């Protein structure tokens, strides 16, 4: 399938009909808005690397990557070799950077599928170099610095030596050098400045080594919080994850500027009444103090894992909030619609997204859990059994 066919197929699908009981909606206009927002921030000269790991944060990696490459994004990043393979097998030709470390046994797949590894040890670089040589190939690589002692990358005091070693290895092309600015997630401006200075120090000590084929390489530091708050971290390209998807996964972000791309919706599949004092429920019990009206939704935590994090999930029905009677079951959720007498079987229900003037965004849901806002993207990991619709 060609790129455009993937997009056409994805986007020409009609919004879900009445016979779809639960679905994920991907709003491509919001995705474009977020790309334009990033573009306006960083200016026309720099490049954007779309981070589409974890199935594009649950949004659908092949479709999202295809759509973004058509919207002026030049690079992709994924976590694992398998995620890279999925994109290549779908016909995607753009550069794909692997952010995770990989097994020595996976090196041949890098060469088979032109995936760009992140390298931060001389020993691993040697292995890749040997295998590339055997194939008569030259493999682009990116080097990673670890400025936050998070165990992923070269430590600043060893980096210069290591980079000099790696740059001498044949059949490797150092195409990029980067770091993950963890301090930006904490909005720690002082630490951000120090980290950028450490990065600069390494760059200036390795000026010659970092000129693959005489051409300057891509230096990249910024992920979402830096794209929003720290222009000094922009360098040559920015790695955009949560902000592409409109997920404010750190404090202080002006959530109004980005638009959430994913919604999760379902339909009321049954309506019942529970009389005063009657008991219902499996693991929890409902003993209403007066007669209540119950809407049954055909979804549970097996479809929508974030429901498991909530003692009393909320949903939107008829443009208003309604609460479940207790935690979700594996495949059903019972919602109190006593205050919404208009509710009918087949009515649309929003579990993530907006309806009328009400909204339940990922940050609103995460606030009801024990998790930190930095885990906000986990709300978007929805079962593959729920169909995904790309809407304009």
Ligand X SMILES: *Cc1c(COP(=O)(O)O)cnc(C)c1O
H/E run at residue 232: none
Quote the DSSP letter at residue 293: E
CB of 181 to ligand X, least distance (A): 9
Residue of 101, 104, 185 lying closest to 144 (CA atoms): 101
Which residue ranges make up the site for ligand X (CB under 6 A)? 51, 53, 99, 180, 223-224, 239-243, 249
Report in angstroms how near the CB of residue 298 gets to ligand X at its nearest. Answer: 32
CA gap 220, 260 in Å, rounded: 25
Taking the least distance from each CB to ligand X, the nearer of 46 and 265 is: 46
Nearer to ligand X, 22 or 115 (CB): 115
Q: Let me know the angle formed at the C-alpha of 116 by 49 and 7, rounded to the nearest 5 degrees.
A: 50
Q: Which residue, 38 or 132, is less far from ligand X as judged by CB?
A: 38
Q: Can you point out the beta strands (E) in the chain?
A: 22-27, 47-51, 75-78, 96-98, 118-119, 139-145, 172-179, 218-220, 237-240, 262-267, 270-274, 292-297, 314-317, 320-323, 333-336, 348-355, 358-360, 388-391
Of residues 253 and 355, the one with the C-beta less far from ligand X = 253
Residue tagged active-site, from 9, 161, 273, 282: 282
Which two three-digit tokens encode residue 214?
A: 């005489």
Query: Taking the complex as a whole, how short is the minimal distance between the CB of residue 144 and ligand X, in angstroms?
Result: 8
Distance in Å, CB of 245 to ligand X, minimum: 8
Nearer to ligand X, 6 or 97 (CB): 97
Contact 223, 195 (CB under 8 A): no
Minimum Å distance from CB 79 to ligand X?
Answer: 7
Catalytic residue at 53? yes
First-to-last C-alpha distance (Å) of the chain: 21
**C-beta separation of 49 from 240 below 8 A:** yes
> So which residues are the catalytic ones?
53, 282
């Amino acid at each position: 399938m060609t790129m455009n066919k993937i997009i056409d197929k994805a986007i020409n699908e009609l919004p879900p009909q009445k016979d779809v009981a639960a679905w994920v909606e991907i709003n491509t206009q919001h995705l474009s808005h977020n790309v334009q927002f990033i573009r306006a921030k960083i200016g026309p000269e720099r490049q954007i690397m779309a981070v589409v790991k974890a199935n594009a944060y649950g949004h659908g990696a092949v479709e999202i990557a295809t759509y973004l490459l058509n919207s002026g994004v030049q690079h992709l990043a994924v976590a694992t070799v398998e995620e890279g393979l999925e994109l290549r097998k779908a016909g995607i030709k753009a550069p794909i950077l692997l952010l995770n470390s990989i097994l020595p046994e996976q090196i041949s797949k890098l060469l088979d599928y032109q995936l760009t590894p992140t390298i931060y040890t001389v020993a691993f670089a040697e292995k890749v170099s040997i295998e590339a040589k055997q194939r008569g190939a030259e493999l682009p690589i990116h080097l990673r610095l670890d400025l936050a002692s998070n165990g992923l990358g070269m430590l600043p005091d060893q980096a210069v030596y290591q980079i000099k070693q790696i740059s001498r290895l044949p059949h490797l092309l150092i195409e990029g050098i980067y770091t993950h600015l963890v301090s930006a997630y904490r909005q720690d401006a002082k630490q951000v400045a120090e980290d950028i200075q450490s990065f600069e120090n390494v760059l200036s000590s390795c000026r010659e080594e970092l000129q693959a084929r005489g051409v300057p390489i891509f230096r990249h530091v910024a992920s979402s919080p830096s794209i929003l708050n720290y222009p000094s971290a922009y360098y040559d390209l920015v790695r955009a994850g949560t902000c592409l998807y409109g997920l404010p996964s750190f404090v202080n972000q002006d959530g109004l500027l980005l638009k959430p791309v994913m919604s999760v919706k379902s339909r009321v599949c049954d309506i019942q009444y529970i009389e005063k004092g009657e008991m219902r429920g499996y693991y929890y019990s409902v003993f209403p103090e007066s007669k209540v009206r119950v809407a049954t939704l055909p979804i549970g935590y097996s479809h929508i894992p974030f429901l498991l994090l909530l003692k009393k999930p909320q949903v939107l029905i008829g443009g208003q909030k309604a609460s479940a009677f207790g935690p979700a079951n594996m495949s059903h959720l019972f919602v109190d619609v006593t205050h919404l007498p208009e509710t009918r079987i087949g009515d649309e229900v929003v579990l993530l997204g907006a309806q009328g003037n009400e909204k339940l965004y990922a940050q609103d849901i995460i606030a009801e859990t024990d998790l930190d806002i930095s885990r906000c993207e986990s709300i978007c990991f929805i079962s593959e059994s729920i169909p995904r619709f790309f809407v304009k």
